[in-house]
Amino acid sequence: MPVVLGIESSCDETAVAMVGTDRRIIAQRIASQDEAHRPYGGVVPEIAARAHAERIAPMIAEVMEEAEMELADLSAIAATAGPGLIGGVMVGLVSAKALAMASDVPLIAVNHLEGHALSPRLVDEALEFPYLLLLVSGGHCQILRCEDVGQYRRLATTIDDAVGEAFDKTAKILGLGFPGGPAVEKLAREGDPKAVPLPRPLVGGKEPHFSFAGLKSAVLRAKEAQEKSVRGEPVEPRTQRDARPSTSSGRTDREGSRAYSDADIAASFQQAAVDCLVDRLERAIDSGGHAPALVVAGGVAANASVRAALEALAEQHDMRFVAPPPGLCTDNAAMIAWAGCERLGQNDPLDFKARPRWPLDPDAEPARGAGVKA
């Protein structure tokens, strides 16, 4: 059975895994850097790169030992070659190149986004092409039609910030620490999702693109208003656009605004983000993106509220809903190894360059109003 060693180092997780073409994860290791980055409220590229350099060799040795295999037993060595923080990407890719050169095993340079895109096929043998993919993470928010391995048509992207970035920013505003996504989801369970009137950027728009910068700003304003209310300072009246009735039973201040909690802000933000994702996906489906299956992947795909809403949407459109288990949603090497399995025979040269940006659909037209990140 062909076996592929995968290496992932595009952001703040150092990961190594060995996967067979029979979809079995033979061995894997993931080392988080959360503690190192927590004081800064986000990922510091230099700290991440140094941590990758320190950990990657011992982790490779551990995975090889657990699998009871030698390098010569491998069919290929797959490594994330982009997109991502370039220092970290280079650490993983150079390590893979060194192993490939020393053992005369083929190198497969994997697009990190393709790793996410193909990860549901690792755990769902029945998932066949084509399928509609919502790719949501800290750095990416896209809707793609996956036609085959290496064949992706981008239907939508974010014109500013990714939804995962909005989760992290909300966590920072609320003082929840890092990583932000899981912290916001946990706090949201205690709050009222209708308590704080927040915008739904681009909802109802003709094109299925996303925007989350305005939502982040609205969360900041809500937190500032809450703090003013607690201090007894005057709170600016809500705009006509935001003056939506609330079903909350909480008390009101002198201005008639609800004295909401941090949990209310978290819940309202999460609901707004979910509403945006569902509306934009529905637009993409109605605009020719319908497929037998609706698939979600990326770190935000681990969010239970997001998964529940997308599952309901898929059912409405007679689509099968597929999501990898939470452990395969965040950055991991099993998805990179599996992408290598899917690409066996498509070997890359040892001088393949690391890429900070690497779109899955390089021919996609730029989204109107989008900057370089889209």
The pLDDT value given to residue 372 = 53
What is the rounded average pLDDT of the residues 275-299? 96
What is the rounded average pLDDT of the residues 31-38? 90
Q: Is 0.85 topped by the overall pTM?
A: yes
For the record, the structure tokens of 367 come out as 């989204």
Residue with tokens 């996504």: 181
- DSSP-derived letter for residue 318 is T
Q: Are strands 76-82 and 3-8 parallel, antiparallel or unpaired?
A: parallel
Residue with tokens 């209708």: 194
The pLDDT value given to residue 258 = 54
Whether 43 and 37 have beta carbons less than 8 Å apart is answered as: yes
Distance CA 242, CA 319 (A): 34
The SS3 of residue 35 is: helix
**3-124+326-342 belongs to which CATH class?**
alpha beta
**Residue 370 binned pLDDT confidence (cut-offs 50, 70, 90):** confident
Whether 122 and 328 have beta carbons less than 8 Å apart is answered as: yes
Q: Could you tell me which residue, 305 or 138, shows the higher pLDDT?
A: 305
Tell whether the model's pLDDT for residue 248 goes beyond 50: no
pLDDT in tens, 47-69: 999 999 999 999 999 999 999 99
What CATH code would you report for 131-322? 3.30.420.40
The pLDDT value given to residue 233 = 81
pLDDT in tens, 224-241: 999 998 887 876 655 334
The pLDDT value given to residue 236 = 66
What is the rounded average pLDDT of the residues 144-166? 96
The SS3 of residue 39 is: helix
Q: What one-character-per-residue DSSP string does 56-72 give?
A: HHHHHHHHHHHHT--GG
Tell whether the model's pLDDT for residue 243 goes beyond 50: no
Burial class of residue 32, CB neighbours in 10 A (0-12, 13-18, 19+) = middle
Domains 3-124+326-342 and 131-322 share a fold: yes
- CA 207, 161, 361, 319 torsion-angle sign: negative
Domain ranges across the chain: 3-124+326-342, 131-322
Q: Are strands 131-136 and 293-297 parallel, antiparallel or unpaired?
A: parallel
Q: What is the 3-state secondary structure (H, E, C) of 321-370?
A: EECCCHHHCCCCHHHHHHHHHHCCCCCECCCCCCCCCCCCCCCCCCCCCC
